[in-house]
């Protein structure tokens, strides 16, 4: 899956972080195939992840057509991106819209760490 950053010169830290995190997980993105738009907000920074069959476009701001919206501190969203649900359980990150729209994206983060290792396999070892 091609990971693109729209308006890279004006992109906020959250968008740059998401590009790096998802670019490192391209194989898992191809396998899981998230679809539609998902918005994320950390403090004053917002991005929309727009998933198409062969491409992910990351845009600054929140699109009105986003299926779900995840809001929290940057630290909480980083923890979620590392595969932890703890920020959601502690209410440091909140989901609005359709939470089921986030399941494919959560699988991407849970199944593969950025270095290619699987957190589930490492826990079993």
CATH superfamily of 2-124: SCP2 sterol-binding domain (3.30.1050.10)
Q: Tens of pLDDT along 67-121? A: 999 999 989 988 877 777 788 889 999 999 998 998 888 888 876 654 444 444 4
Please report, for the chain, the start and end positions of each structural domain, with discontinuous segments joined by +.
Answer: 2-124
Q: Tens of pLDDT along 13-31? A: 999 999 998 998 899 899 9
Tell me the C-alpha distance between 32 and 112, whole Å.
11
Q: Tens of pLDDT along 23-56? A: 988 998 999 999 999 999 999 999 999 999 899 9
For 12, residues 6+ apart whose C-beta sits below 8 A from its C-beta are: 45, 46, 47, 60
């Amino acid at each position: 899956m091609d990971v693109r950053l729209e308006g890279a010169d004006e992109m906020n830290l959250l968008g740059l972080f998401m590009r790096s995190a998802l670019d490192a997980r391209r194989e898992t993105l191809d396998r899981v195939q998230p679809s539609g738009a998902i918005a994320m907000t950390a403090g004053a920074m917002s991005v929309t992840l727009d998933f198409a069959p062969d491409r992910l476009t990351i845009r600054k701001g929140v699109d009105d057509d986003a299926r779900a919206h995840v809001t929290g501190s940057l630290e909480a969203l980083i923890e979620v991106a590392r595969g932890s649900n703890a920020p959601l359980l502690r209410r440091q990150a909140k989901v609005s819209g359709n939470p089921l729209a986030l399941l494919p994206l959560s699988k991407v983060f849970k199944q593969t760490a950025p270095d290619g290792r699987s957190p589930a396999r490492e826990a079993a070892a």
